[in-house]
Structure 1
Amino acid sequence: MTASPFRLDGKTVLISGAGGGIGQSLVSSFREAGATVIGADREASMLEGLDLAGKVLFDQADAKGTRAAIGRYLAEFGTPDAVVSNAGFTRAEILDHLDDDVWASELAINLNGAYAMTDPIVAAMAKRGKGSLVFISSVNALGHYGNPAYAAAKAGLVAYAKAIAVERGGQGVRANVICPGSVRTPAWDHRLAADPTLLDNVLPHYPLGRMVLPSEVANAAVFYCSDASSGITGTVLPVDAGLTAGNLRFVDDVLRDK
């Protein structure tokens, strides 16, 4: 019986931001696919209760510390078969919320830290001759939906992944990007607490009429890390309930017969 190309049995996957809303679903989905999962986050307490074979601790806002932690992991445990760069953060929702410090902080976490984490692994994968990386970006990288510093950083991840795909493809390294839309994780809790009717304004923008589930983002990442996607690299996959397909609100408010 031929093994399913969607399975990850015998593979080791490193997931950053593993303790977050999407991160926990990533851990669960990769374990269900048979992978051995190493979780990375800022503090060990964030990873408690997860089905992990190991933990790597670093603050992605600190690029040097992140690179050092990954270097120690590689030296002790070797190169993972796949990496999901998932850690991210934003609070500055519009241009008026930005200043130099806020801009630098959001790029440090979402772009510079992701580079510091993955660059040593890319080099190790290229030396070995095989590996897959998945970057969890955002629809904010594809169009403006607010959070301008975060959007700039997430767009940078798209460019970085394409660079890996082009320059390291000959050494067997693949890199792809997932761009989620609004995902119903605890990150929305503070907004909904302030305005319980907020989803009444959010959901009409989504053709599927709902937010994306963390498991749906995770399933896409499993696909990208599996042999089922072995011929795919340098791509960007929106997992966004149809948001970037077109402007549903415009169709409903302007064009549809009332």
Structure 2
Amino acid sequence: MTRFDTYGVVVTGGARGIGEATARRFAAEGAGVLIADIDEESAARTAAAIRDDGGRAEHAACDVADSAAVDAAVARAVAAFGTLDVLVNNAYACSDHREDFSEERDEDWLRDLDICLVGSMRCSRAALPHLAEAPGGRGAIVTVGSVNGLSYFGNHAYSAAKAGLVSLTRTLAQQAAPLGVRANLVAPGTIRTPVWDGREKMLEAAARAYPLRRVGEPADIAAAVAFLASTDASWITGVTLPVDGGILGSNAGFTDALAAEFAADTAQA
């Protein structure tokens, strides 16, 4: 028997990248997984690939900005698996970074906030009554945030939305606890996902900034999500777990500047 046998799981933005890796991880551990994604064709392909590998998976077209679509996706998961035990809030939007803050656009902020933050609220609101009915207190919400919500890495609107998810997770943890449902957040650093396709040089440069000297892989985040969703984490709720290769604990710019100054002083001595 594997960790998520008999579970029903919804993964938003599950067609590719972190969402796909997470869906595959749950399916590999026995769960039935609904891949909810605005790109229905890609969601269908991912679900079919999981089934081809012997897993249980369905898909649903789902725009998390649309409450009706969210409600329908949750209902489809319950109908398909007979239960909903885990919601993974992974869908996101990320507007372009603007060096000049005076050029920030209302429409970018409204979109990023609506998809990342309000979208996670919509999904959690729809799922919570079903999660509360999950047997054995195994109901859980795991939200995929970002180190951008914890420190400065650019992409201002996206970062603000991800910071909001930290607060939302604390709120959900308190609201859901009496129902036996836990809520936690994983905050990834730079992850090698399709959004980086064609920009391998940027990933190589980013890797050098990480203490572990590599960027993350989708499977790194999927593993953390699966842990927080599992009964192994049954006494953990309301936390933000960085999965970041150590980047939040480092200050490369400061230490590099001191190292350069130290080298100059040594050379003069």
Q: What TM-score results when the alignment is normalised by the length of structure 1?
A: 0.88
Structure 1 counterpart of 2:165:
157
* Shift in CA distance, 99/198, structure 1 to aligned 2, threshold 3 Å: same
Structure 2 counterpart of 1:31:
27
* Shift in CA distance, 128/22, structure 1 to aligned 2, threshold 3 Å: closer
Q: CA deviation at 1:108?
A: 1.1
Larger radius of gyration: 2
- Is 1:233 the counterpart of 2:241 in the alignment? no
Q: What TM-score results when the alignment is normalised by the length of structure 2?
A: 0.84
**Between the two proteins, what is the percent identity of the paired residues?**
33
SS in 1 for 2:168: helix
Q: Which runs of 5+ in 2 are unaligned?
A: 51-55, 264-269
Separation in 2 of the partners of 1:254 and 1:228?
43
- Alpha-carbon contact 1:176-1:233 (below 8 Å) kept: yes
Range with bigger deviation, 155-164 or 89-98 = 89-98
SS in 1 for 2:197: helix
Separation in 1 of the partners of 2:97 and 2:148?
11
Structure 2 counterpart of 1:89:
93
SS in 2 for 1:209: coil
Q: CA deviation at 1:157?
A: 1.1
SS in 2 for 1:102: helix
- Is 1:16 the counterpart of 2:15 in the alignment? no
- The total of aligned residue pairs comes to 249
The C-alpha deviation readout for 1:88-115, integer Å capped at 9, x for no partner, is 1213213355211111111111111121
SS in 1 for 2:49: coil
Q: Note the 1:133-148 alignment, pairs <5 A.
A: 133-148=141-156
Separation in 1 of the partners of 2:127 and 2:19?
19
Structure 1 counterpart of 2:197:
189
SS in 2 for 1:156: helix
Structure 2 counterpart of 1:168:
176
Q: Which runs of 5+ in 1 are unaligned?
A: none
Structure 1 vs Structure 2 CA RMSD: 2.2
Please point out which of 105, 115, 129 is paired with 1:99.
Answer: 105
- Is 1:56 the counterpart of 2:96 in the alignment? no
Please point out which of 73, 76, 79 is paired with 2:76.
Answer: 73
SS in 2 for 1:50: helix
SS in 2 for 1:53: strand
Separation in 1 of the partners of 2:67 and 2:221?
29
Structure 2 counterpart of 1:111:
117
Higher relative contact order (CA 8 A, sep 6+): 1
Structure 2 counterpart of 1:120:
126
* Shift in CA distance, 210/249, structure 1 to aligned 2, threshold 3 Å: farther
Q: CA deviation at 1:123?
A: 3.0
Separation in 1 of the partners of 2:240 and 2:96?
24
- Alpha-carbon contact 2:146-2:186 (below 8 Å) kept: yes
Separation in 2 of the partners of 1:253 and 1:199?
23
- Alpha-carbon contact 1:137-1:177 (below 8 Å) kept: yes
* Shift in CA distance, 164/215, structure 1 to aligned 2, threshold 3 Å: same
Separation in 1 of the partners of 2:83 and 2:76?
9
* Shift in CA distance, 96/182, structure 1 to aligned 2, threshold 3 Å: farther
